[in-house]
Amino acid sequence: MANIIAMPRVDPAMEKGTVLKILKKIGEKVSKNEPILKVMTEKATFEVNSPYEGYVVKIFHNEGEELNVGEPILEISESPVASQEIGVVKEEEKEILATPAARRLAREHGIDLSKIKGTGPQGRITQEDVLQYISQSKSDTTELALSPIRKIIAQRVEKSHREIPQLTVNVNVVVDKLLRHRSEHGISFDSYFIYCVSRVLKDFPAFNSEYKDGVLIKKKDINVAFAFAVGEELYMPVIRNADMKSLEEIDREHHDLMEKAKNSKLELKDLQDYTFSITNLGPYNVIHFNPLIYPPNTAILGIGSIEYKFFNEGNTFSIKPTIVLSLSFDHRVADGMQAALFLNKIKDMIENGKFE
C-alpha cells in the first residue's frame, strides 16, 4: 500500500511551505517517525517525520519548491519497488536541484528548470543561472554563472584594479641553492618564498599593511596567503604568523592547506586575515607577470618559472637556474625604491640559502 506525505499544515495560519530538504532518496528505507523532510514557512523551519514505515518510491516535488498545504511531496510504499522500476521512477522524476529564488524566477518567466544547467553545489540551479538563461535566450552567446569562490575573486580583483594605483618591479634571482636545498629536504617551492617574505616584511611594514581612507594601517601579524588552484577554483589559503615559523613548519602547513583545498575541506578561517600574498605561475611556464594586489593588502609577490641563464664569474662561465620575482605594490604607500630593496632582500636570502 502506498502512502503520501504531503505539505503539512504545521501552523494554523500556514497556507504554503517550501520544501527545503528531502532527507531520503528514492528507494531508501524510512522508519516510522524518522525525519524525512525539512520544510520552511515564512516564519520558521520544521522537520517533518514520516508517519509511515516503508520505502520512498516517488518524489513529486523538488527541494526549493513552494507548495500549498496538502500538495503531495513523497510517496512511501510498504515494499521496495524493483530496482528497474526505481530506475524508471528516477528518470521520470529526475530531481532538479534549485534554490527557492531560482524557482520563483523560473516560475515568473515560465521557464522549465530542466533546461538549465546549475552551477551550484551538486549542480543546484541558482538565481543567477536562471538570469543567465533568460539573457542567453535573448542572444546567441553563451554565458556562464560564476561559482561562489570565483565571484568573490572577481569582486576582489575588480576592486584592486579600480582602486589601487599599483606598480610592479622585477628582479632576477638565482635559485641553484634553493633547488639543492629543496632536493635534499623535499620542501615545496612556495614555502621558501613564504619563509623569506615573512622575514623581510618585518623591515618593510608598508607591504604588510592596509591602506584605508588615507591612512596606512600596519598589521601586527604577518599572515601570508598563497594562491592555489584546484580545478577552475582559485584559493588563497593563509599561513598565519609565518614569521614565527621555521621553513619546515611553513612547509607542513602549506602541504596541509593544499590537501584541505584539494579535498574541499578548507574552512573560512583558512582564507581570512591575510596580510600579504604570493602567487606562483612558474609551473605554467610563465617567465614573469604583473600580479594584481589582493585587497585589502598593499603588495603581492609573483613567482615566475625557472630559466637557465649564462653567468660569467671571473673567467668562468656557468649556467644557473633563475627566476623572476615580481612585486606589485600600492604606490600610495611605497615607492619603487622600497619595492626594489624588498626584492633584493629576498634575493639575498634565496641566493645565499638563508633558510634557517
Residues that bind another protein (CB under 8 A): 10-14, 18, 20, 33, 35, 40-47, 49, 64, 99-101, 120-121, 124, 126-128, 148-149, 151-152, 155-156, 159, 264-269, 271-273, 295-296
Nearer to another protein, 142 or 264 (CB): 264
CA angle 299-290-306, nearest 5°? 105
The nearest distance, CB 318 to another protein, in angstroms, is 47
Give the Cα separation of 44 and 7 in Å (integer): 14
Tell me whether residue 64 or residue 302 sits nearer to another protein (CB atom): 64
Geometric angle at alpha carbon 22, from 16 and 23, rounded to 5°: 140
Grid cell 584592486 is found at: 160
CA distance linking residue 206 with residue 16, whole number of Å: 57
- Decide the pairing of beta strands 54-59 and 299-303: unpaired
Which residue number, 212 or 312, has a Cβ lying nearer to another protein?
212
Among residues 239, 244, 243, 272, which one has the least CA distance to residue 257? 239
Q: Shortest Cβ distance from residue 173 to another protein (Å)? A: 32
Q: How near is the Cβ of 145 to another protein at its closest, in Å?
A: 10
Q: How far apart are CA 178 and CA 123, in angstroms?
A: 44
As measured in angstroms, the least distance from the Cβ of 187 to another protein is: 27
Closest to another protein by CB, 33 or 137: 33
Q: Which is nearer to another protein, 233 or 249 (CB)?
A: 233
Q: Shortest gap between Cβ of 134 and another protein (angstroms)?
A: 16
Separation between Cα atoms, residue 60 and residue 75, nearest integer Å: 8
